[in-house]
């Protein structure tokens, strides 16, 4: 019973992480689309930077938030 409970907790955490990832990707796509209307080269830089930093989500999230404030 405990193993089943633990697996349920892990499954729930995985689902929450996937929802967060989808939300962050959606924000990134929106940001790139918005920036590309005024500055396509900047949008390309954001896309490249996001790809480079995909393995470091904390840095990417901070930069996305900073860019969104501009």
Report d(CA 9, CA 66) in Å as an integer: 33
DSSP state of 55: G
What's the half-sphere exposure (Cβ side, CA atoms, 13 Å) at 12?
Answer: 6
Of 2-11, 23-32, 37-46, 49-58, the range with the lowest mean pLDDT is: 49-58
pLDDT band at 41 (very low <50, low <70, confident <90, very high): very high
- Whether residue 33 contacts residue 26, with contact meaning beta carbons closer than 8 Å, is answered with no
pLDDT score for 17: 84
pTM of the model: 0.61
pLDDT score for 39: 92
The domains of the chain are located at 2-69
In this prediction, residues 41-69 reach a mean pLDDT of 78
């Amino acid at each position: 019973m405990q193993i089943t409970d633990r697996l349920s907790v892990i499954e729930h955490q995985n689902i929450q992480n996937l929802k967060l990832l989808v939300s962050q990707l959606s924000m990134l796509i929106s940001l790139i689309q918005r920036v590309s209307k005024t500055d396509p080269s900047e949008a390309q830089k954001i896309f490249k930077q996001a790809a480079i930093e995909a393995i470091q989500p904390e840095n990417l999230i901070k930069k996305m938030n900073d860019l969104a404030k501009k």
